[in-house]
Structure 1
Amino acid sequence: MTPKHAGPAPPIGPPTGRSPDPERPDAPVRADSAPANNRSLVVVSNRLPFTAERRPEGTRFRRSAGGLVAALEPVLAQRGGVWVGWTGAAREDGAGDAAGGALPAATDHVSYRAVPLTAHEIALYYAGFANRTIWPLFHYFVGHTQIDGATWRAYERVNERFAHVAAEASDDEALV
């Protein structure tokens, strides 16, 4: 049996602007793809698409494996934009990160912004809340979920830092 529709399928995408339908001024409006293509793109993830290793001869960058990098790196390279995340190395003190603040050189299209994390922050935010609370909860292993205030507070603090770096890297019209 073929479903019957009263009209075209509803628009897909976030509501933007005003509805062109005077009968339904509050109806969601599909975002036009042309303006979106002109907006800067900011990718925010836990890890940058590489791992930085400090060596006597200088910092070496190795591309990270994984689906997120494989899916988003080509899009970012084509469109241009900024990738915000952690380098994968713990900083030893309050200044810079373990890679000495070094990041791969920006290309014409892509630049990187690091969110430096200490070993203590990584233990609480990532190994603690992300891996012991969020991961089991979102994968239906509720019985394995561990909740405690210290890891939650660290998760909040680190996410606020990610948000701050992302905001600094974004303009008012950026797609984040």
Structure 2
Amino acid sequence: MELLLKWDQQLFQLINETLHNSFAFTFFSAITNVADIAVFFLTVFFIYALISKTKAKTTKIIFNVLTPVFIVFVITVILKLIIQRPGPEAFVRPWPEFSPFPWHYAFPSGHTSRAFAFAVVLGQQLPMWRWPLLGAASLIGFSRIYIGAHFPADVIAGALLGVLVVFLFKKLHK
């Protein structure tokens, strides 16, 4: 376990410090919030579907997309509260009082888990977009390391969680 944590910190430093430049930081700072923006617009679309006249098919599609993403969000919060792993910032600049709120814990990465859940579930609906969506989710995950919000293991766990929840949801929802 000690070796895994050391590898995690070394890989974080390589990505976050060695590869760091101002243009890339600005780019990845913008990329990191794409998952939240996509979920916001999906939620707006879901509300529209509820009041739309053609809501039966639209509501079903949105339910199948939004529900796994919401489940991933809930599971991520629960895991953060159970595991309570601080992010890299806590090791660089320890906070005087570490907050008990789940968004201050790092494992697993919530942005990454939502991005992968969204990419996989949308990729199932739109197969020709599967690989670009997974590429975008990977970019979001990488951005979380690059901007210093997460260690690589947090991002890997978030990606696996997002994919796993979507596949379990699909299997149970048939």
TM range (shorter): under 0.3
Larger Rg: 1
TM-score by length of 1: 0.26
Greater helix share, structure number = 2
| Structure possessing the higher relative contact order (Cα contacts under 8 Å, 6 or more residues apart) | 2
